[in-house]
Structures are given as structure tokens and as C-alpha cells.
Structure 1
Amino acid sequence: MREFETPILDDHLHLDPRHGRGVEAAKDFARSGGTHLLVVNKPSWLLGVTPETGEDFRAVYEETIETVEAASDVLRGRAWPVLGVHPALISRLVDDRGYDPDTAADLMKAGLETAAEYAASGPAVALKSGRPHYDVSDAVWDASNEVLRRALELAAETGVAVQLHTEQTTDLTDVAAWAEDAGLAPERVVKHYASGQLDGVTKSVMARKEYLETAIEVDEPFLMETDFVDDPDRPGAVMGPKTVPRRVDWLLESGHEPAVRTAHVETPETVYGIDTVATLDD
């Protein structure tokens, strides 16, 4: 039993009741002391959706929202959805389906516009976007950045945050400038799968001890995540749902209560406008 009572938020994971463990993974998180989750929709192609229009993404979002509601029922706190279009979709559209990059980008923007409806109406606290984390042509890179910029605009319009899947980097000051241009505070832009150091936007730090130690040393706002993928074909991929609670215990045992409060109370409030304390046992 941890002596220091705290909410524990995993900022980015996936739950897939159709193919994976679904809510059972959320139960593992809760049994380990986890209280709150941000559940990100899986890429459309992993849920059997081959979009032709922005409306076609709605099935992905609806399934994620249903899963979030079920996860909330097993948590002391609650879960929230993060909805959007995975940036790797552009490669599937261009390489596999023959789209030119600009047309692919238009479809992805339309998918984000559908996601923004859920942000405007309430359930989604962030949009998901980004750009490829692997080598692509200049045309695909430019088109991907246009999709990312549209996500920033939609987040500003609907009053939510943005979670980004990007290349491995410690510098996203370019994206921070685009956020400001769009009217979105850069601290409301989150790089998921981050290390402990990042300039420009808020970092969602992978729950590795060395990354967390760096984040504490840097002493800037951060979040913690596992990027649990909930894929039975990749059982060892990324981190399991028990990891963030266990890392919080390790941080508390190491005397890092202020860092825990930063990652699980203060930064979630600043970025997403969520109150992880008030929603405990709600």
C-alpha cells in the first residue's frame, strides 16, 4: 500500500476488446493502483476500416468510446478517449492504395474533422495526429505536416489538446510555433512516446526509469505513458498496463512526490483540463 495517496494516469495506451484484452487490461492497471487512463483509438486498419471519406472513421471512434466507457467502470477514477488519425495511414494510402500525397492528406484531414466532432461535443479530450517516424519522400513529409497543422487548428477550435506520434526527437519547436499560429497553447500539444528531454511541447514520457530520471532532472511538466498496444500477436510490445503504477511506486519510494504530482495531477489539468483528484471515486 503506497503511503502517498495520488491519482495515477497512463497518458497513452490502447484497449482492443475485439482482438486483445480490452477491459481486462484496464483491470490489471487498476489492480496495480492505476486510477485514470487516456485511451487512444487504434489505427483504422487494425480495426478493419478502409476509409474512403472522413465519415468512415466514425466506426473507429465509436468503438473506442464504448471501450472507454467500459474501462471507466473498473477504475477508481475514469478513462477518456483520444481520437484521430494515425500518421502512418498516409503511407498505406500512397503506397498500397495509389493515392497521391495531397489527396491522402485531404482524407486524413477529413478523418480529423470527424474526430473533432467528438471533441466539440464532449467525450474526447484530445485529438490524435502527427507525422511519420520513418523515412518518407519530401512530398509525403510535407503532406503529413499539413495534416498535423490541421489537427492543431481543430484542437484550437474545439478547445482540446493534441497528442502527436512523431519521429524520435528532443526538439519540436517547429510544431510549437505552428500551434501558436493556430491559436493553441504549445503546452497543450503532447508528444507521445517521448524521452525525458523535449523542447517545444509537452512530453509524455515512456515509463522507463532512465527517461523518468531525466524528466525529473529537467524539471519541466511531463506525463507518463506505456503505449500498451493490446495486440495478442505482439504480447511483449512496448509496455504492459501495470507499468505506470509500478513506476509511480518507484518514484515515491525514491522521494519524488513532487514529480508524481506534476505528472499525474498538474500536467493533466494544464494540458487536458481534467481533474484527476476530483474524479477519484467519483
Structure 2
Amino acid sequence: MPYEELPIHEGADFARSYEITTRMTERCNAETDATIFCTVGPYPVLLLELAKEHGLAKAKDMMLEGMDAAGRFVAEGKAIAIGEVGRPHFPVEPEIMDASNDILVHGMRLCREIGCAIVIHAESATPEVMRDLARLADIAGLDRSKVVKHYCTPLVKEEENHGLVPSVLASRSQLKEALEKGDRFFLETDYMDDPERPDGVLPITTVPKRVKGLASSGEDHEEAMWRVNKDLPEKTYGVKIE
């Protein structure tokens, strides 16, 4: 999401915004024991605000410029993927949806060229939504396994996710359902670091707590958790997790 201190008024502002993200990532890696990876991209809901200010055609061009900048950051090794990008998560006019899909396909083509993943922000995940996102990936020539659906329901079976990677919100109920179906999924919190919404959507500590809870439950999920938290992220993002 855009930073309050750097509103987007022109396409070049996206790169300036990404610099804030990558500098924070570098600082965390230098000053803490944690290993931080980041993604960058033009937040899709911003298209509506830009369209009100500049008209849809110019707003779309600005978002495309933001997508190109994100691709450069990934190519330079400053980020590991393009994201969150995609389309608004609420109903919009058809022309907004069409423009959003065009911007998304452009980003997917960049990911194909760079060899990186893309993290999708979109409407609530259903098998039909996943099929449509897979269709866009096919148009762009991007391997479906490089498409991560952020804030996803437990669509773990291939007939549900159509080859995309579901990133499942780490609530107890969703984790339980996901594990009943398989182990090809990510876990996430969608933590926003917003003082007005403390611990929203889930506290940042939720994923390790869930993993520790499984380890102490007596249920045999160790191999699945290795695949969920290490093997699949490494394969999808091309990173090494120690």
C-alpha cells in the first residue's frame, strides 16, 4: 500500500515508494537476526484514486509505470517478487476491472521475463476466481506455479486453485482445512502494521505460533510444515530459507 508520506502523484513516485520498502528491508537484515524478503508493486486499489484525479487512461499508464519500476527492483535483486498487484477486492465498474486486468497481465509478462513470482491481490478466492487468474497467467506466458494468491481461502487441491499457489490466512480453522487437503500452500497473517488496527488482520506472530502449536499437538504435521514454510517458498520465490 502507498506510504502516507509519499502519495503517488506521478508514475515516478512508485519507484520512490519502493525505495522506502527496500531500505527498511536492508536495515532489518543488517540490524536483526531475522532474514527479510520483500515484494514491491503498484497496489491495485490505487487505480481508482488515480483515475478520479487524472482520468482512467492516464491512471492506467501510471500504474503500468509502477509495474515496470517493480520489475526493475526485482531484476536488480532489491525485491524477490512483484506484489501485491492485481485488481480491487470489491465490485468496480467494468472499465476499472478491464484496466486492472491489463495492468496485471503486463506485470505477469514482466515476471515471466525476469523469472520471478507475482503476488496477487484480488477479490475473495473461489475456484472460479483462481481459474480466471490462471487464465491471465496463461495469456502472459507465466507459469501458474509462479502466481501466489494473497489472502486466500484453503483452496489447496489443484482442481480448486488451478495451479496457482494459495497463501492461506493462518487462522486455526483455515489451517486445519488446508492441512486436510494437502501441503501445497503458504501461511500468512496479512498484518498491516496500522496503529488504528492493532494486530490486524492477524498478529505478526501468528504463523510461528500456529506451527509451534501443531508441533505440540501430537499430530504428525512436521513434514507438511517444512514444505509449507521452507520448500514451497524457496521453489516459488527462488530464495534460500535457513
| TM-score above 0.5, yes or no | yes
Indicate yes or no: 2:7 matched with 1:49. yes
Q: Which amino acid aligns with 1:268?
A: P
The structure-2 alpha-carbon separation of the partners of 1:156 and 1:236, relative to structure 1 and needing over 3 Å to count, comes to same
Structure 1 residue ranges (4+ consecutive) displaced by more than 3 angstroms after TM superposition? 73-77
Q: Which amino acid aligns with 2:125?
A: T
The structure-2 alpha-carbon separation of the partners of 1:75 and 1:188, relative to structure 1 and needing over 3 Å to count, comes to farther
For residues 174 and 5 of structure 2, what CA distance do their matches in structure 1 show? Answer: 31
Structure 1 residue 115 displacement after superposition: 1.0
2:68 matched to which residue of 1? 113
Structure 1 residue 69 displacement after superposition: 1.3
Q: How does 1:132-281 map to 2 (within 5 A)?
A: 132-171=88-127, 172-197=130-155, 198-200=160-162, 201-254=164-217, 255-277=220-242
Q: How does 1:33-44 map to 2 (within 5 A)?
A: 43-44=1-2
For residues 216 and 168 of structure 1, what CA distance do their matches in structure 2 show? Answer: 20
Q: Encode CA deviations 1:112-132: one digit per residue, 9 max, x unaligned.
A: 101111111112111011101
Q: Percent identity?
A: 34
Aligned residues: 232
CA contact 1:47–1:60 (8 Å) conserved in 2: no
Q: Which amino acid aligns with 1:184?
A: L
1:81 matched to which residue of 2? 38
For residues 206 and 212 of structure 1, what CA distance do their matches in structure 2 show? Answer: 8
CA contact 1:130–1:165 (8 Å) conserved in 2: yes
SS at structure 2 position matched to 1:44:
coil
SS at structure 2 position matched to 1:79:
coil
The structure-2 alpha-carbon separation of the partners of 1:236 and 1:80, relative to structure 1 and needing over 3 Å to count, comes to closer
The structure-2 alpha-carbon separation of the partners of 1:45 and 1:135, relative to structure 1 and needing over 3 Å to count, comes to farther
For residues 9 and 14 of structure 2, what CA distance do their matches in structure 1 show? Answer: 6
For residues 73 and 252 of structure 1, what CA distance do their matches in structure 2 show? Answer: 30
Structure 1 residue 75 displacement after superposition: 4.8
Structure 1 residue 46 displacement after superposition: 3.1
For residues 68 and 111 of structure 1, what CA distance do their matches in structure 2 show? Answer: 19
Q: Which amino acid aligns with 2:21?
A: T
CA contact 1:252–1:260 (8 Å) conserved in 2: no
CA contact 1:51–1:57 (8 Å) conserved in 2: no
For residues 121 and 230 of structure 1, what CA distance do their matches in structure 2 show? Answer: 27
Structure 1 residue 232 displacement after superposition: 1.1
CA contact 1:196–1:212 (8 Å) conserved in 2: yes
1:94 matched to which residue of 2? 51
Q: Which amino acid aligns with 2:59?
A: A
Structure 1 residue 251 displacement after superposition: 2.0
CA contact 1:156–1:184 (8 Å) conserved in 2: yes
Q: Which amino acid aligns with 2:239?
A: I
CA RMSD of aligned residues (A): 1.6
Higher RCO, 1 vs 2 (CA within 8 Å, ≥6 residues apart)? 1
CA contact 2:51–2:58 (8 Å) conserved in 1: no
For residues 139 and 178 of structure 1, what CA distance do their matches in structure 2 show? Answer: 17
Structure 1 residue 220 displacement after superposition: 4.4
1:40 matched to which residue of 2? none
Structure 1 unpaired stretches of 5+:
1-42, 278-282
Structure 1 residue 47 displacement after superposition: 3.9
Structure 2 unpaired stretches of 5+:
none
The structure-2 alpha-carbon separation of the partners of 1:75 and 1:244, relative to structure 1 and needing over 3 Å to count, comes to farther
